[in-house]
């Protein structure tokens, strides 16, 4: 029996390698996508390697293939790979994009690469490294020498990773996108001439070609924005266009009177913000639109087919007239056909019925799911204990995260007053969320989401004012992306007086799980705290931490930051991939910012809670 299994394993491995090494040709010709000389309709799904544990890449790609898809599209996140100026990482955590593409090829999927440099994607800063804001005279997403030098370095680094995976070199990458939804940015930035915009988009497109990308190119924009976003030499594709006749008319207009026709972003779900309802799109509606595309010969890419998770501090943010920031959830479930945890949904099954053929493989088995009834938290440590071990940065005025050379997390601002002062505290330069304390007593919570920037304050003689500020994610879409500094970015004002002199800043990036081994149990209700616990597992499995009894913060499991939670919802659970758990002892650390009460335990469930909105738990009633 063992010998038979060994022979079968070797056979499957050889077959997989043979499939991966078969060289194909791909072209855009005679109004068609042409694969190996034959017209093909692309049935693609968007799925991002950075939002999925690498241990689960193959499972998720197999889920796509079993749905009846023939391609996977992925953004490449510049800031996920350039972790510091000139420091490139394509290996650690979930960063090995080349390996992801190789697995896609082994599973019989072609790849559509979307390298940006701007990607939107509800991702922190739209994929831009935060430190670009520190480069003198740099203007992001513009015809700017410093910026274009940075994009060239990024494209060069990326090409070095994926060049052997282009279809022209025997790989699965059949198309590459130039820029990303640039027409929208042109419409948002009318302060810049269309000629200047076009110089930039043409320069970025040329960089992609110059570094070596030699497969067909495309652009993606709303169909009404092709004039602004289309590039000569790239196929214009539409985002969110459900009118097939309109799609063909506009593509013909900007592509020499011919196709092929593709909807590069077909939305089976939608993005989600904290403190706002979870949007839903029905399976029936998505299946009906898919059928329209199939019948009309229109290629498409589901955005998203599987969203995954914004682990750590990777989630981005939007804004609108009522909110200066709308931070995205940790979950990127997106109401997609494949759920955040990789489960087949009703939508998945409906689309599989439409797309499957005789050669479509079976749906992979669901990954094991567990519940943990209680995780006891044996240590509760005041955040101040960590802060007191940090050497502060002293300055005349509060400094931004960027000035402190910090990308994410928190900064503790502190100032001692030698004279009493009272009145209205104005923090118009808050980015994004702050808790204000006087002598350790909480005074207020301020928040850019609610445009809540002021409170009444009374600072007695020799008192200390502390303001703990959280970066909730940089803007990823819209004109305001160019102003994405974080922290306190303008003067602090009390009773009309600008408060200057002797400000201390304590950086708390939380880029690693805090070490609480020697810390004391000294947490107090009403002050931010860190909780630590251990739990034993006889068997691993995916699970969902239930954070409904908590306020606001982040969670580390076995050293990995699994993301933010916030009691306002609609997300009330955090996805914990089983591959990050261990049989035996596991460690959890929770940073609770509000800490209205001392916690003693946390539990996990077998099902996610993503639609439980609790607006009354917001900071403004």
User: Can you read off the two tokens belonging to residue 32?
Assistant: 């068609």
User: 277, 252 in Cβ contact below 8 A?
Assistant: no
**50 DSSP assignment:** G
The position carrying tokens 């945890």 is 341
What are the residues facing 565 on neighbouring strands? 553
46 in catalytic set: no
**Torsion of Cα atoms, 160 then 165 then 167 then 173, to 10°:** -100
CB atoms within 10 A of CB 400: 21
Concatenate the DSSP letters of all residues of 443-454 into one string: EEEEETTTTB-E
- Give exposure, 450-470, as e/b (b: 16+ Cβ within 10 Å): bebbeeebebeeebebbbbbb
**361 DSSP assignment:** P
d(CA 265, CA 287): 15
d(CA 608, CA 604): 9
Return the H-helix or E-strand segment holding 575. strand 573-576
265 in catalytic set: yes
d(CA 582, CA 539): 8
Return left, alpha or beta for 206; rule: phi > 0 is left, psi -120 to 50 is alpha, else beta. Answer: alpha
Catalytic hit among 82, 124, 228, 265? 265
Catalytic hit among 82, 107, 124, 181? 181
Residue 518 backbone dihedrals phi, psi, to 5 degrees: -105, 5
User: Can you read off the two tokens belonging to residue 123?
Assistant: 């991702």
Strand order from edge to edge, sheet including 393-395: 393-395, 503-508, 410-416, 464-470, 433-438, 441-447
User: Which residues are tagged catalytic?
Assistant: 181, 265
């Amino acid at each position: 029996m063992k010998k038979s299994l060994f022979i079968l394993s070797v056979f499957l491995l050889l077959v997989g390698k043979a499939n991966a090494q078969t060289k194909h040709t791909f072209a855009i010709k005679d109004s068609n996508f042409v694969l190996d000389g034959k017209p093909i309709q692309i049935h693609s799904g968007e799925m991002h390697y950075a939002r999925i544990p690498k241990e689960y890449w193959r499972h998720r790609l197999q889920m796509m293939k079993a749905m009846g898809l023939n391609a996977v599209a992925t953004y490449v996140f510049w800031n996920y790979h350039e972790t510091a100026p000139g420091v490139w990482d394509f290996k650690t955590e979930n960063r090995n994009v080349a390996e992801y593409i190789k697995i896609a090829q082994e599973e019989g999927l072609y790849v559509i690469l979307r390298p940006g440099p701007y990607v939107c994607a509800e991702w922190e800063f739209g994929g831009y490294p935060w430190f670009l804001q520190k480069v003198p005279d740099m203007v992001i997403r513009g015809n700017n020498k410093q910026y274009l030098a940075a994009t060239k370095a990024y494209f060069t680094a990326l090409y070095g990773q994926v060049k052997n995976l282009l279809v022209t070199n025997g790989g699965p990458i059949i198309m590459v996108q130039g820029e990303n939804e640039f027409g929208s940015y042109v419409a948002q930035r009318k302060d810049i001439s269309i000629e200047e915009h076009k110089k930039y988009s043409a320069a970025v497109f040329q960089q992609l070609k110059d570094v070596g990308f030699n497969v067909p190119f495309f652009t993606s924009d709303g169909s009404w924005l092709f004039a602004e976003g289309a590039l000569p030499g790239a196929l214009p594709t539409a985002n969110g266009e459900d009118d097939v006749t309109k799609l063909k008319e506009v593509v013909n207009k900007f592509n020499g009177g011919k196709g092929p026709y593709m909807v590069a972003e077909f939305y089976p779900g939608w993005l989600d913000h904290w403190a706002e309802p979870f949007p839903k799109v029905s399976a029936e509606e998505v299946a009906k639109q898919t059928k329209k595309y199939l019948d009309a010969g229109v290629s498409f890419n589901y955005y998203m087919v599987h969203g995954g998770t914004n682990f750590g501090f990777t989630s981005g943010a939007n804004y609108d007239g009522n909110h200066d920031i709308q931070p995205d959830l940790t979950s990127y479930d997106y109401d997609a056909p494949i759920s955040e945890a990789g489960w087949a949904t009703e939508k998945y099954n409906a689309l599989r019925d439409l797309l499957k053929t005789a050669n479509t493989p079976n749906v992979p088995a669901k990954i094991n799911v567990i519940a943990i009834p209680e995780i006891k938290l044996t240590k509760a440590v005041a955040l101040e204990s960590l802060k007191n071990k940090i050497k502060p940065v002293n300055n005349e005025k509060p400094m931004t995260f960027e000035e402190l050379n910090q990308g994410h997390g928190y900064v503790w601002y502190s100032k001692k007053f030698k004279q009493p002062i009272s009145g209205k505290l104005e923090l118009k330069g808050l980015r994004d969320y702050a808790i204000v304390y006087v002598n350790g007593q909480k005074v207020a919570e301020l928040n850019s989401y609610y445009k809540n920037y002021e409170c009444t304050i009374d600072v007695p003689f020799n008192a200390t004012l502390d303001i703990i500020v959280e970066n909730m994610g940089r803007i990823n879409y819209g004109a305001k992306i160019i102003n994405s500094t974080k922290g306190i970015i303008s003067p602090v004002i009390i009773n009309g007086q600008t408060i200057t002199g002797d400000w201390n800043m304590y950086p708390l990036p939380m880029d690693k799980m805090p070490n609480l081994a020697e810390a004391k149990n000294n947490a107090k209700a009403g002050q931010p705290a860190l909780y630590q616990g251990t739990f034993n597992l006889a068997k691993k499995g995916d699970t969902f931490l239930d954070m409904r009894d908590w306020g606001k913060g982040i969670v580390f499991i076995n050293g990995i930051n699994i993301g933010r939670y916030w009691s306002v919802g609609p997300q009330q659970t955090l996805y914990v991939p089983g591959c990050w758990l261990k049989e035996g002892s596991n460690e959890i650390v929770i940073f609770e910012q509000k800490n209205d009460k001392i916690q003693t335990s946390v539990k996990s469930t077998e099902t996610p809670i993503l639609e439980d909105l609790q607006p009354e738990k917001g900071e403004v009633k």
